[in-house]
Amino acid sequence: MDKESVAQEDAELKALSQALHQLYDPVLDEPVPARIITQARARRPLWRMAAIAAGWITLGLGTGMVAGWQLHAWRASAPLQAEMPGFVKRAAVAHAVYSPEVRHPVEVAADQEQHLVTWLSKRLGVKVHAPKLGDAGLSLVGGRLLPGESGPVAQFMYQSQNGRRLTLYVRAESSKHRETAFRYARDNSVGVFYWVDRDCSYALASADLGKEEMLRIATLVYKQLEQ
């Protein structure tokens, strides 16, 4: 390349650089969202403390990923509320609608679990499971198929001995490998932990259980689904 065209290239790159700065530099002056500051300050001791607070240090803090999750769950949910995805909202509403049902809480009851799981897997197009939550004192009531934004979703319902209920809302994702951290949101009285893992999005919802107990259950669910 001759000298002149090199100079021209340089000038052009410089102009491009200036335009890019003009476009994106305003971001530098925006206030940084709280969730990002919290994440940036997430030193290990902090999540260890969070783990103790959440009461499940005994589960073992194997990987950094699990640790990161805890932190997500532990920190205040306020900044996330404004960003509640539509699917989480739907999970909360589905919980609010079906969990008070006495006679028809589910479409297919737990005594036909195999049929339920096979049916829902077929409709969602991915293999879904009903996690065993006996360790958390919850037994499967059953499940149902629901309409999501763009297709079928599944809802599993669980219940404790004293009648407290929890639902797991599962939506198939068209693409794989995407994982997100554990996030928590509240919709009126319903608390929701949600995450994306491989081929599904999950939202665990309950109006009856506390956040810490739900975190413990969410961890249980995640571990079982990983296997």
Binding footprint of another protein on the chain (CB under 8 A): 12-13, 16-17, 19-30, 32-33, 35-37, 39-44, 63-65, 67-68, 71-72, 83, 85-87, 89, 149-150, 173-178, 180-181, 196, 201
User: Please, what is the minimum distance in Å from the beta carbon of residue 102 to another protein?
Assistant: 31
- What lies within 8 Å, CB to CB, of 108 at 6+ separation is 115, 116, 119, 142, 143, 144
Q: In the complex, what is the shortest distance from the CB of residue 47 to another protein, in angstroms, rounded to a whole number?
A: 9
- Closest to another protein by CB, 86 vs 163, is 86
- Comparison of 32 and 102: residue with beta carbon closer to another protein: 32
Minimum CB separation of residue 64 from another protein in Å reads 3
Range 51-69 burial, b when 16+ CB lie within 10 A, else e = beebebeeeeeeeeebbeb
Nearer to another protein, 35 or 186 (CB): 35
Minimal distance in Å, beta carbon 101 to another protein? 26
**Those residues with Cβ within 8 angstroms of residue 91's Cβ, 6 or more apart along the chain or in another chain:** 155, 167, 169, 192, 194, 203, 205
Q: Which is nearer to another protein, 4 or 29 (CB)?
A: 29
Instruction: Decide whether 83 or 101 has the Cβ nearer to another protein.
Output: 83
Question: Is residue 29 classed exposed, middle or buried when 0-12, 13-18 and 19+ CB atoms within 10 A define those classes?
Answer: exposed
Contact of 167 with 94, CB cutoff 8 Å:
yes
Planar angle of CA 15, 32, 52, nearest 5 degrees: 140
* Min CB(223)–another protein separation in Å: 18
